[in-house]
């Protein structure tokens, strides 16, 4: 259940699984390391939706990956230049105003299936341009 903005790279199925595993483990690890969590859960212990820590981004030497997960399991991934600040609000906007309006409400969309809808791509590109992230 991931929606990936693969602008630079075509993802194959194996990549999706690896990516899913990465986010899964990131959350498990982040939760296990959480110094504020009194229960000291074991790493990899099963978690309910929304439990534990959600992770927002990681930065590498050449890019930054932003991440948003909805309680329904949708995952939004955005890669930008490493100098870009937090994109949480922008990802939330993409979820609420672009994805819900132009994908979920599109009768051709089957939840959980890959999709390619021109109006959504166009609106997303336009939004990215207004943010100055896409030239």
For binding to another protein (CB under 8 A), which residues are involved? 17, 20-21, 24, 46-51, 70-74, 92, 95-96, 99-100, 104-105, 111
Min dist CB 19 to another protein, Å, is 12
What are the beta bridge partners of residue 76?
Answer: 3, 68
SS3 labels along 76-116? EEEEECCCCCCCHHHHHHHHHHHHHHHHHCCCCCCCCCCCC
Nearer residue to another protein within complex by CB, 71 or 132:
71
The two three-digit tokens of residue 57, written as one number? 């981004």
Residue 59 CA to residue 42 CA, distance in Å, equals 26
Nearer residue to another protein within complex by CB, 59 or 103:
103
Min dist CB 106 to another protein, Å, is 10
Min dist CB 50 to another protein, Å, is 2
């Amino acid at each position: 259940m991931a929606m990936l903005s693969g602008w630079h790279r075509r993802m194959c199925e194996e990549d999706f699984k690896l990516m899913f595993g990465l986010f899964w483990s990131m959350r498990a690890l982040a939760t296990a390391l959480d110094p504020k969590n009194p229960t000291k859960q074991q790493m990899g212990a099963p978690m309910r939706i929304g439990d534990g820590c959600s992770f927002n981004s990681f930065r590498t030497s050449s890019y930054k990956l932003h991440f948003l997960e909805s309680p329904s399991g949708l995952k939004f991934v955005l890669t930008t230049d490493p100098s870009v600040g937090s994109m949480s609000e922008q990802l939330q906007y993409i979820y609420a105003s672009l994805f819900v309006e132009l994908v979920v409400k599109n009768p051709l969309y089957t939840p959980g299936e890959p999709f390619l809808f021109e109006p959504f791509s166009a609106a997303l590109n336009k939004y990215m341009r207004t943010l100055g992230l896409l030239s």
